[in-house]
Amino acid sequence: MSHNRAVAYKGPGEVEVIDIDYPTYELKDGPGVNPANVGRQLPHAAILKVVTTNICGSDQHMVRGRTTAPTDLVLGHEITGEVIDTGPGVEFIKKGDLVSVPFNISCGRCEMCKTRRTEICLNVNPDRPGSAYGYVDMGGWVGGQAEYVLVPYADWNLLKFPDRDQAMEKILDLTMLSDIFPTGFHGAVSAGVGPGSSVYIAGAGPVGTAAAVGAQLLGASVVIMADMNADRLANAATFGCETIDVSQEDPRQGIARILGREEVDCGVDAVGFEARGHGKDAKEAPATVLNTLMDVTRAGGALGIPGLYVTGDPGGVDEAAQEGSLSLRLGLGWAKALSFTTGQCPVMKYHRQLMEAILHDKVQIADAVNAAAISLNDAPAGYAKFDSGVATKYVIDPHGVTGKVQPV
């Protein structure tokens, strides 16, 4: 077997399905691969036939040209697959296993991994702590929006589904375990959501929706979702969220309308560095969401910040934004003694429990995010539709195994 096709970034606003090498147990040179990683031997890896791989908002940041991603970088960090081969160092994962792949690549050996901080593994990315498939500055591991993908440290990284038939029945839910469901859940957990909490979630896209589902699972009494996209807000209302259209209503006024007071217990940023200001025809203002969360979260509260922030943004609104420097009202956050949790979600901290919640019908995350399976060939159209703001989470099915593929 030697063929493989994948979705690659070709320049701002453009992706294309291209032919790439079939995976081997060596990390080869290619777009975005750190030179120190070239030639790295991977006897601990497994080769997966990709069952599902999702288009993520983080991918869209690259495709919009808002990062330093190189041309021909193979995209995709949300991966579910079938193990079809294993390296000689793999002991427990077996051929035929159906597995979820955490988007964080981690070694299981370093100090961070041993303390469950798999999002900042020290051994997989020479550039900085932490790594991911198909993402800029993350070490150059080939992305999973492909027919086949390599997963290093397979025994450590892969979450095996206990029953294949049961998993395939719920595959559009389980595909969310690779990133957005744990990421949204992590945002809710790090914001301190618990029974009876009131929660303000900025951003009603897939991660914000996952945060809302996670907050409900944690026992929140009121989940308020804020956005400017009417379709996404309407979707949030279908599963019990209150909504604020921040193009029409001030967040404090909206919270007061819903709660009878102007502050919430917990705040979640599911927008990130391409945030816009509030009000009609608002322009990009990247610190807006973080400053709003500090304003509307009660004293002593916490902010979960799963929204992506970067150190290099060629399209930033000014020189400061282009290097990830934002004008934060840190004095306000300090005065209110707010806690902040930033960074990637440590997926392995949550994915097994969330898998059980899916398998035992405690959550229907695919319905909440309006998951839609599409073919690999239709991935460019899926990117374009997702970028237009539709309330849909596109799930690429490269081999047509879900039986649910539909045209974009």
pLDDT of residue 184: 98
Q: Does the structure show a pLDDT above 90 at 354?
A: yes
Average pLDDT, the chain: 96
Rg (CA), the chain: 20
Q: 195 and 164: one domain?
A: no
Q: Which domain-ending residue is among 341, 369, 388?
A: 341
In this structure, the answer to whether residues 211 and 159 fall within a common structural domain is no
- Is 116 within the bounds of a domain? yes
pLDDT tens-digit readout, 12-29: 999 999 999 999 999 999
Q: Is residue 407 part of a domain?
A: no
- Whether residue 359 is found in the same domain as residue 247: no
Q: Flag whether pLDDT at 1 surpasses 70.
A: no
49, 38 contact by CB (below 8 A): no
Distance CA 98, CA 359 (A): 14
Question: Is residue 401 situated within a structural domain?
Answer: no
Higher pLDDT, 127 or 379: 379
pLDDT at position 295: 98
Judge if 51 and 102 occupy the same domain.
yes
| 294 in the same domain as 356 | no
From CA 182, how far away is CA 351, in angstroms rounded?
6
Domain count, the chain: 2
Task: Please check whether residues 171 and 188 belong to one and the same domain.
Answer: no
d(CA 386, CA 396): 13
> Per the domain annotation, does 187 fall within a domain?
yes
Together in a domain, 165 and 218: no
Give the separation between CA 50 and CA 7, rounded to whole angstroms. 13
Q: What percent of the chain has pLDDT over 90?
A: 97
> What pLDDT, on the 0 to 100 scale, is given for residue 258?
98
Q: Has residue 132 been placed in a domain? A: yes
Question: Over the stretch 264-315, which tens digit does the pLDDT of each residue have?
Answer: 999 999 999 999 999 988 999 999 999 999 999 999 999 999 999 988 899 9
Q: For residue 403, tell me if it sits in a domain.
A: no
CATH code where residue 294 lies = 3.40.50.720
Handedness of CA 124, 127, 129, 132 (dihedral sign): negative
DSSP, res 349: G
Q: What was the pLDDT predicted at 404?
A: 95
Cα–Cα distance for residue pair 337/316, rounded to 1 Å: 30
Asked if 111 and 257 sit in the same domain, the reply is no
199 found inside a domain: yes
CATH number at residue 359: 3.90.180.10
Q: Are residues 197 and 336 in the same domain?
A: yes
Sign of the Cα torsion 59, 63, 68, 74 reads positive
Tell me the one-letter amino acid at 293: L
Query: Residue 397 above 60 pLDDT?
Result: yes
- Angle (deg, nearest 10), helices 288-296 and 251-259: 40
**308 located within any domain:** yes
**Residue 234 and residue 92 share a domain:** no
Q: Rounded to the nearest 5 degrees, what angle is found at the Cα of 131, between the Cα atoms of 128 and 133?
A: 145
Which of 84-107 are b and which e, b meaning 16 or more Cβ less than 10 Å from the residue's Cβ? Answer: ebbbeebeebeeebbbbbbbbbbb
8 Å CB contact between 328 and 287: yes
Instruction: Read off the pLDDT of residues 224-242 as tens digits, 9 standing for 90 and up.
Output: 999 999 999 999 999 999 9
Task: Return the bridge partners of 65, or none.
Answer: none
Rounded to an integer, the average pLDDT of 348-371 is 97
Q: Residue 24 CB: number of other CB atoms within 10 A?
A: 12
Mean pLDDT along residues 44-70 = 95
Distance (Å, rounded) from C-alpha 352 to C-alpha 83?
18
Q: Which pLDDT value is given to residue 281?
A: 87
Please write the tens of the pLDDT for every residue from 139-191.
Answer: 999 999 999 999 999 999 999 999 999 999 999 999 999 999 999 999 999 99
Residue 357 gets the label, from left (phi > 0), alpha (psi -120 to 50) or beta, of alpha
Query: Quick one: 173 and 59 in the same domain?
Result: yes
Are residue 198 and residue 113 in the same domain, yes or no?
no
State the Cα–Cα distance between residues 158 and 152, nearest whole angstrom. Answer: 9
Task: Residue 187: give the domain boundaries.
Answer: 181-341
Model pLDDT for residues 201-221, shown as the tens digit of each residue: 999 999 999 999 999 999 999
Is pLDDT at 375 greater than 70 in this prediction?
A: yes
State how far the alpha carbon of 209 is from the alpha carbons of 71, 204, 244, 273, 309, in Å.
31, 6, 14, 18, 19
Q: Tens digit of pLDDT for each residue in 251-277?
A: 999 999 999 999 999 999 999 999 999
